[in-house]
Amino acid sequence: MIPVPLAECIRRREGRRPVARGARICYPVSPSAIAVIVPMSILDLAAIDKAPLHREPYEYLVVEDAIRPEVLAEVNADYPEIDKPANYAPEDLHYGPRFQQLLDELDSAEFQQHVADKFGVDLDGAIKTITVRKYSEPSDGNIHADHWSKIITLLVYFNPEWTQEGGRFRVLRSPDDIEDYAAEVPPRGGTLLAFHRCDHSWHGYKRFDGERRMVQMSWVRPSRFAWYAQQMARFGTHAMKRVSRLFHHSAR
């Protein structure tokens, strides 16, 4: 028997095209019986659930294969084209369907509940923010604790390999020593890192200038004052980065 495409079978089933003597044979197919192929999920929620929650020097979580290894290359192939070291909102970028699927999974109520359960916090009503970055610059990585309006900060990395000394996220014990760290996390593809923001959630990384793919997600307190305060803090950070860039270029 010579196989016939499914759409052709359906047309014959509906009587649009008579089957002549000696024609190729196909079995009757009901359109309602057609299976819908759903792409494999990108995030491994079970791996996130199983990962230990560290509590010192503050609450944080590291999952090395939060993105399933078998789909990481597909997600990277659909990563947005970005040519500057800046954070971008997803709606300002162009990217493929696998990267869109990742954003959808990160933005889902199911994923939020897993994060909330892991840290034992209530994220209902919190404002979610997602930004995408492709390049790090010398002004990045300064030690900070994140703005007080944030509840949880979550980072997902995409570089297939990471051998550089710089650019490795450090969970720090103090606000003034990048070498005083409790953990160091290479931004290797598939790795997810999340932490519960507090007044001593210090973190940063040693200088790195180059491609460092990352999606950052935050759950922010739902108050107008918190939003305005965060915007002012970002304005100050951007101003300092501009000064740092000028200093860096003049020093070359």
CA dihedral 174, 175, 181, 186 (to 10 degrees): 160
* Residue whose C-alpha is closest to residue 140's, from 203, 53, 59, 68: 203
Residues 24 and 115 in one domain: no
DSSP string computed for 96-130: -HHHHHHHHHHTSHHHHHHHHHHHT---TTPEEEE
The two tokens of residue 200 are: 């001593």
Domain contains 96: yes
Residues 211 and 140 in one domain: yes
pLDDT above 90 for 106: yes
Residues 158 and 112 in one domain: yes
Domain contains 211: yes
Residues 91 and 148 in one domain: yes
Q: pLDDT (tens digit, 9 = 90+) per residue, 198-213?
A: 999 999 999 999 999 9
In Å, how far from its chain's centre is CA 19? 52
Residues 83 and 164 in one domain: yes
Domain contains 242: no
Could you give the number of structural domains in the chain? 2
Residues 78 and 121 in one domain: yes
Residues 66 and 92 in one domain: yes
pLDDT above 80 for 126: yes
**Domain of residue 58, residue span:** 46-221
Domain contains 247: no
Question: Domain containing 82 — which CATH number?
Answer: 2.60.120.620
Residues 162 and 110 in one domain: yes
Domain contains 240: no
Residues 15 and 101 in one domain: no
Residues 24 and 55 in one domain: no
The two tokens of residue 80 are: 């947005």
What's residue 35's pLDDT? 54
Domain contains 227: no
Domain contains 239: no
Q: pLDDT (tens digit, 9 = 90+) per residue, 18-63?
A: 444 444 444 455 555 555 566 789 999 999 999 999 999 999 999 9
Residues 125 and 149 in one domain: yes
Domain contains 9: yes
What confidence tier does 227 reach under pLDDT thresholds 50, 70, 90?
Answer: low
User: Structure pTM?
Assistant: 0.77
What's residue 228's pLDDT? 62
Residues 8 and 52 in one domain: no
